[in-house]
Structure 1
């Protein structure tokens, strides 16, 4: 059984989550809370496996509840919010998912399954059941690009983002753009998906360079990198970006 705590200051919202949870035979409701301090006490006392946690609550918000705990003591967290602008903060505290209100049934089921998968993965690693025989994919760690009359080596870790430039890919690294004779599509197939994600048919970004995400009214998003560069996220790739960020958080917990 997977024990779940539900935290939301709105009784109707709590009941909605609890009702959805009741439809899953492997879920046990560990308890519920309606504010941040009560949530922290309940997590410490009940030690649930998963917490569905509202972000905006009177007093201590959901993000501060998780920040107040040592990483080793934190349960798996699925944040709830009516606003998309807190998503990046959720990634920073390694939440495994972020559900926008009103909650979609399919997204709720997907988040719950993600919790199951992450919990099973952690238990498997803890018991030493993971296989060491599976081949680890090899990804490029550097690119060789032509600059005038010489070849220049660019480390993959120096690349912040990549844009399509005709038959070339423009590698943005350390304030300069280096042209690589490769299409963005082909390049994405070569890059480590744990490091890079496609956000537009002509744009790839490195995940750890993302500083801010703003959801726009037309379902696109505006992404800002750590150096201030603004990039548009097409709605076609929004789900891939969300998955990549949460999977990165799950690996780092």
Structure 2
């Protein structure tokens, strides 16, 4: 299976480097076009109907996000974002389970990202993760959603509706306001990186909680937190002072 791809980046050296890496390490990916701006990319996408887009986030006064917003209709291609700025927009990308690469590109990360994209490439259908990303960019913080990837489907959950997360080996249990519970094959560390900017606190090696959903802090028996759903979450000795300081603000 040949994967038709387009490179979108305003830096010629970056496009050349990525093209050479793809030729060497991802022979199943064929570069069918290159664009230096969102306007050029839109024309190529409509003309060539790619399977995969390697999209730079920052391109002068515009961004890769601007490109996605400008495309009308359902998007049927996969996207791998490429950026030199690990803080810019990456939270939004990660929240929707879309892959990204940091410049300079690491070969192992490139092949891994391409392998993940290949899992979603097939008969042309709307890319719901991409649709969710575009929607997230225009939502307020309390309306932001994340992708919960399970074996047979991906569900999008409003971050503000998550009460807490609990680790179980390489899996994580996610508890919601409505009583729903998901078990996903990601570590708690993955969600820690993603959710702490949204006000989540790591109270223990195995627990991550939504600060907005804390009902009370019990000082006895070493200290623990009671969440809005009545669940009790332990607080480790190392985290106790940090949690108390946060609660008392």
Interval of TM-score (by shorter of Structure 1 and Structure 2): 0.5 to 0.7
Q: State the match for 2:21 in structure 1.
A: 20
2:45 to 43, 46, 62: 43
What is the Cα deviation at residue 74 of structure 1? 4.3
Contact map agreement 1:63 1:90 (CA 8 A) in 2: no
Q: Secondary structure at the match of 1:119?
A: coil
- Alpha-carbon distance in structure 1 between the residues aligned to 2:14 and 2:97: 20
Larger mean Cα displacement after TM superposition, 107-116 or 35-44: 35-44
Distance between the aligned counterparts of 1:12 and 1:104, measured in 2? Answer: 16
Q: Once the 2 structures are TM-superposed, how far is the Cα of residue 115 of structure 1 from its aligned partner?
A: 1.4
Distance 1:68 1:196, change over 3 A: same
Distance 1:25 1:33, change over 3 A: same
- Describe the superposition over 1:27-84 as per-residue Cα deviations: whole angstroms up to 9, x where unpaired: 2211001112111221111111001000000232101111222462242100011122
Contact 2:165–2:172, Cα closer than 8 Å, also in 1: no
Identify unmatched segments of 5+ residues in structure 1: 125-135, 138-156, 164-183, 206-211, 214-221, 235-253
Offset at 1:162?
A: 4.1
CA displacement at 1:199 relative to structure 2: 2.1
Task: Name stretches of at least 5 consecutive residues in structure 2 with no aligned partner.
Answer: 126-150, 153-159, 175-181, 206-249
Between the aligned partners of 2:170 and 2:60, the Cα distance in structure 1 is 47
Q: TM-score, normalised by structure 1?
A: 0.53
- The Cα shift of 1:114 comes to 1.1
Work out the CA distance in 2 between the residues paired with 1:2 and 1:35: 22
Q: What is aligned with 1:6?
A: 7
1:101-180 map, 5 Å: 101-120=103-122, 159-162=162-165
Give the drift of 1:103.
Answer: 0.8
Correspondence 1:199 to 2:200: no
Q: For residues 8 and 44 of structure 1, do their structure 2 counterparts lie closer, same or farther at Cα, with a shift above 3 Å needed?
A: same
Which residue of the partner structure matches residue 179 of structure 1?
none
Give TM-score, length-normalised by structure 2.
0.54
Q: 1:67 to 1:103 in 2, by over 3 A?
A: same
**Number of aligned residues:** 163
> Aligned partners of 2:37, 2:101: CA distance in 1, in Å?
18
Counterpart of 1:52 in structure 2 is 54
Once the two structures are TM-superposed, the CA of residue 190 in structure 1 deviates from its matched residue by 5.9
Identify the structure with bigger relative contact order (alpha carbons < 8 Å, sequence gap 6+): 1
Report the equivalent of 1:80: 82
Q: Name the CA distance, whole Å, in 2 between partners of 1:61 and 1:197.
A: 31
Distance in 1 (alpha carbons) for counterparts of 2:186 and 2:110 = 26
Distance 1:185 1:87, change over 3 A: same
Q: Does 1:223 align with 2:196?
A: yes
CA contact (8 A) 2:169 2:187 kept: no
Whole-angstrom distance in 2 between the partners of 1:106 and 1:10: 22
